[in-house]
């Protein structure tokens, strides 16, 4: 039997205990040196709100400071990182300030958030914040940052003094092994120190961004909510979004509805009113707790109607919608020597092209989750198979002496024959995650298992005494990670144009592929079970077709 370790294990680490203790006692001491500037109203002669054709006013600018990152979160970046733009293509400190200045003076931008990549790996980050914070005398109200927290503790007080108002720190687990699995790097203790530093330095708000993913960290949702008991933190649950190559799958996304039902069954929570009409977070609070819980439901509830934000990418492209493909290169505009009036016109035109709403994140996700061709082939293949029939002749028994024999197929004609087999491996979702994200010490499990399965099919006649050596036209082995049942489904297809069928070859392929997975993962889970190894379908040959219903 498989161990239900995902739900029974409680991840309480030294780090999480320190965090809890420290958060519980965090003071609200303010930095005496910090002089909060009261925002002034924009009185620039060129000021005109940045409106789209639906009357939405855009006064929130998100600036990505870099494409680089010191982590490699599974849901965000491939292990090898992303293709980086040459440094000369990125906005430099001066250009960032010029754009921020233009947005504040001309469009009345009230809030700027710096993000990335990891914004704190820029060594001019303090200068950037300091420069941009000068715009507070012209109507800019708030400067925020979203960081992974690896470096934040080091800079926290300097950033606060430079004019940073609020911070979002991304953290998806309190367990250091799991942190390593999710981010592909070490550093949980640093992130925890950063949260402590942010609370100590009296930021206007300290939010923790948490992306709940089925089978990865969903068992820590309650632990994160507990952090709001004594600390003025907001835990933000962000629906897992599909990005190019981040292996998003609908089964892994936990929707707001699922989350809130679960939370309501365990905590006495009340809904809080929206802070502004632009608020993207739905807010709740556990009764009697100090902090709050926010939900960013980008996947299940588009907040297009109140959208007030535009984005500037690190290479200087303006994006008017996170899910839209339209981009305007402001870096190019700067490079071409356009003045602020001309850039102003370009930006207004781009915003005028903004659609009323995007086509729905779930629809957009379908682009990324199209069934691979091989599975379409398999479905087509299955539908061509008809009903089963049983072979009543014992062809492997010699009628003369009752002994086993290898059938003489010399007189048989060659026909096209296909067989498909399947096995299930109960292995547990933690090991599945490690397999999926190639975190198993012995190597890439699915690739090795696939090769093993194909070679096994080709070696069938060497291992199964009465099997003929059959020329194979095709062998394929596929794996489906079924997180809801915590099992891997292994499927094979074998095809030949010959005198005997390929059922044994297909069964060999799934058996050996399954045993290979077992072998490579047995150190992580001793209770792996391989079961239901069976023929799913066959077609061709005298014995007729078979289709397991």
- Residue 432 in contact with residue 483, Cβ under 8 Å? yes
Minimum Å distance from CB 178 to ligand SF4? 14
Alpha helix positions (H), 88-173: 93-107, 125-133, 152-162
CB nearer to ligand SAM: pick between 182 and 452: 182
Interface residue with ligand SF4, options 18, 31, 51, 73 (CB under 6 A): 73
Q: By three-state DSSP, how is residue 488 classified?
A: strand
Rule CB under 6 A: say whether 146 interacts with ligand SAM. yes
Rule CB under 6 A: say whether 216 interacts with ligand SF4. no
Residue 496: which of ligand SF4, ligand SAM, none does it interact with, CB under 5 to 8 A by kind? none
Rule CB under 6 A: say whether 220 interacts with ligand SAM. no
Separation between Cα atoms, residue 435 and residue 258, nearest integer Å: 26
> Could you tell me which stretch among 67-75, 106-114, 406-414, 521-529 binds ligand SF4 (CB under 6 A)?
67-75
> Could you tell me which stretch among 114-122, 227-235, 239-247, 466-474 binds ligand SF4 (CB under 6 A)?
114-122
Alpha helix positions (H), 255-326: 256-266
Rule CB under 6 A: say whether 144 interacts with ligand SF4. no
- Residue 217 in contact with residue 52, Cβ under 8 Å? no
Interface residue with ligand SAM, options 52, 59, 67, 118 (CB under 6 A): 118
Give the single-character DSSP code of 473.
S
In 327-372, which ranges are E strands? 327-329
CB nearer to ligand SF4: pick between 166 and 170: 170
Which value, in Å, is the radius of gyration of the alpha carbons in the chain?
29
* Helices (H) then strands (E): counts for the chain: 17, 17
- Residue 540 in contact with residue 501, Cβ under 8 Å? yes
Q: How many CB atoms lie within 10 A of CB 215?
A: 20
Query: 375-379 — which CB contacts under 8 Å span 24+ positions?
Result: 375/478, 378/420, 378/478, 378/491, 378/493
Structure tokens at 210: 């948490």
Interface residue with ligand SAM, options 25, 48, 177, 243 (CB under 6 A): 243
> Could you tell me which stretch among 111-119, 267-275, 317-325, 358-366 binds ligand SAM (CB under 6 A)?
111-119
Rule CB under 6 A: say whether 115 interacts with ligand SAM. yes
Given 127, 279, 473, 519, the catalytic residue: 519
Interface positions, 315-374, toward ligand SF4 (CB under 6 A):
none
- Residue 401 in contact with residue 395, Cβ under 8 Å? no
Q: Is 172 a catalytic residue?
A: no
Closest CA to 435 of 489, 368, 481, 371: 481
Structure tokens at 132: 């941009």
CB nearer to ligand SAM: pick between 246 and 332: 246
The count of C-alpha atoms lying within 13 angstroms of the C-alpha of 512, restricted to the half-sphere facing its C-beta, is 22
Query: Residue with structure tokens 């996947």?
Result: 299
Residue 77: which of ligand SAM, ligand SF4, none does it interact with, CB under 5 to 8 A by kind? ligand SF4
Q: How many CB atoms lie within 10 A of CB 249?
A: 17
User: Who contacts 394 (Cβ-Cβ below 8 Å, separation ≥6)?
Assistant: none
Contact string 157-196 vs ligand SAM (x = CB under 6 A): -------------x--------------------------
Separation between Cα atoms, residue 314 and residue 337, nearest integer Å: 19
Residue 358: which of ligand SAM, ligand SF4, none does it interact with, CB under 5 to 8 A by kind? none
Rule CB under 6 A: say whether 153 interacts with ligand SAM. no
Pairing outcome for strands 415-426 and 474-482 = unpaired
Rounded to the nearest 5°, which phi and psi values hold at 6?
-65, -35
Rule CB under 6 A: say whether 314 interacts with ligand SF4. no
Rule CB under 6 A: say whether 72 interacts with ligand SF4. yes
Q: By three-state DSSP, how is residue 539 classified?
A: strand
CB nearer to ligand SF4: pick between 72 and 262: 72
Rule CB under 6 A: say whether 242 interacts with ligand SF4. no
Interface residue with ligand SF4, options 50, 61, 71, 452 (CB under 6 A): 71
Rule CB under 6 A: say whether 18 interacts with ligand SF4. no
> Could you tell me which stretch among 71-79, 439-447, 512-520, 535-543 binds ligand SF4 (CB under 6 A)?
71-79
- Residue 549 in contact with residue 397, Cβ under 8 Å? no
Interface residue with ligand SF4, options 117, 139, 212, 541 (CB under 6 A): 117
CB nearer to ligand SAM: pick between 107 and 179: 179
Rule CB under 6 A: say whether 118 interacts with ligand SF4. yes
Rule CB under 6 A: say whether 246 interacts with ligand SAM. yes
Binding site for ligand SF4 (CB under 6 A): 69, 71-73, 76-77, 116-118, 148, 170
Binding site for ligand SAM (CB under 6 A): 69, 75-76, 115-116, 118, 146-148, 170, 209, 211, 238, 240-241, 243, 246
Active site residues: 519
């Amino acid at each position: 039997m498989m161990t239900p370790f995902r739900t029974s294990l409680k991840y309480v680490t030294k780090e999480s205990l320190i965090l809890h203790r420290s958060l519980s006692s965090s003071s609200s001491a303010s930095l005496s040196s910090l002089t909060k500037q009261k925002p002034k109203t924009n009185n620039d002669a060129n000021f005109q709100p940045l409106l789209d054709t639906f009357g939405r006013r855009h006064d929130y600018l998100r600036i990505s400071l870099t494409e680089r990152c010191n982590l490699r979160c599974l849901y965000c970046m491939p292990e090898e990182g992303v293709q980086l733009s040459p440094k000369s293509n990125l906005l430099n400190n001066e250009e960032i300030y010029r754009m921020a200045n233009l947005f504040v003076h001309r469009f009345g931008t009230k809030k700027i958030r710096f993000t990335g990549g990891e914004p704190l790996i820029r060594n001019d980050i303090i200068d950037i914040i300091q420069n941009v914070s000068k715009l507070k005398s012209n109507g800019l109200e708030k400067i925020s940052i979203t960081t992974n927290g690896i470096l934040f503790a080091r800079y926290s007080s300097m950033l606060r003094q430079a004019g940073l108002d609020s911070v979002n720190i991304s953290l998806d687990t309190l367990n250091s092994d799991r942190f390593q699995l999710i981010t592909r790097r070490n550093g949980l203790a640093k992130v925890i120190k950063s949260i402590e530093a942010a609370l100590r330095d009296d930021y206007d708000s300290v939010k923790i961004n948490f992306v709940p993913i089925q089978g990865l960290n969903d068992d820590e949702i309650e632990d994160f909510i507990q952090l709001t008991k004594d600390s003025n933190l907001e835990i933000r649950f962000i629906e897992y979004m599909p990005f190019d190559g981040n292996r998003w799958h609908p089964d892994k996304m936990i929707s707001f509805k699922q989350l809130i039902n679960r939370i309501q069954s365990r905590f006495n929570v009340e809904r809080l009113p929206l802070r502004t009409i632009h608020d993207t977070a739905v807010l709740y609070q556990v009764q009697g707790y100090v902090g709050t819980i926010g939900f960013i439901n980008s996947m299940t509830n588009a907040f297009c109607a109140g959208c007030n934000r535009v984005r500037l990418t690190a290479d200087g492209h303006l994006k008017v919608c996170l899910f839209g493909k339209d981009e305007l290169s402001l870096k190019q505009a700067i490079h071409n020597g356009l003045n602020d009036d001309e850039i102003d016109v370009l930006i207004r035109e781009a915003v005028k092209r903004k659609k009323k709403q995007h086509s729905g994140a779930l629809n957009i996700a379908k682009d990324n989750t199209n069934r691979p061709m091989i599975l379409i082939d398999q479905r087509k293949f299955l539908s061509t198979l008809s009903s089963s029939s049983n072979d009543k002749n014992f062809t492997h028994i010699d009628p003369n002496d009752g002994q086993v024999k290898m059938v003489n197929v010399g007189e048989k004609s060659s026909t096209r024959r296909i067989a498909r087999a399947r096995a299930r491996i109960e292995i547990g979702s933690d090991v599945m995650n490690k397999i999926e994200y190639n975190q198993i010490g012995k190597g890439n499990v699915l690739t090795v298992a696939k090769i093993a399965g194909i070679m096994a099919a080709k070696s069938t006649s060497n291992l199964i005494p009465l099997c003929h050596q059959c020329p194979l036209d095709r062998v394929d082995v596929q794996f489906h990670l079924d997180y809801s049942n915590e099992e891997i489904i292994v499927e094979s297809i074998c095809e030949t144009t010959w005198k005997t069928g390929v059922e044994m070859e297909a069964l060999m392929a799934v058996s050996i592929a399954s045993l290979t997975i077992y072998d490579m993962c047995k150190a992580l889970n001793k209770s792996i079970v391989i079961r239901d190894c069976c023929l799913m379908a066959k077609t061709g040959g005298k014995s007729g077709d078979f289709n397991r219903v």
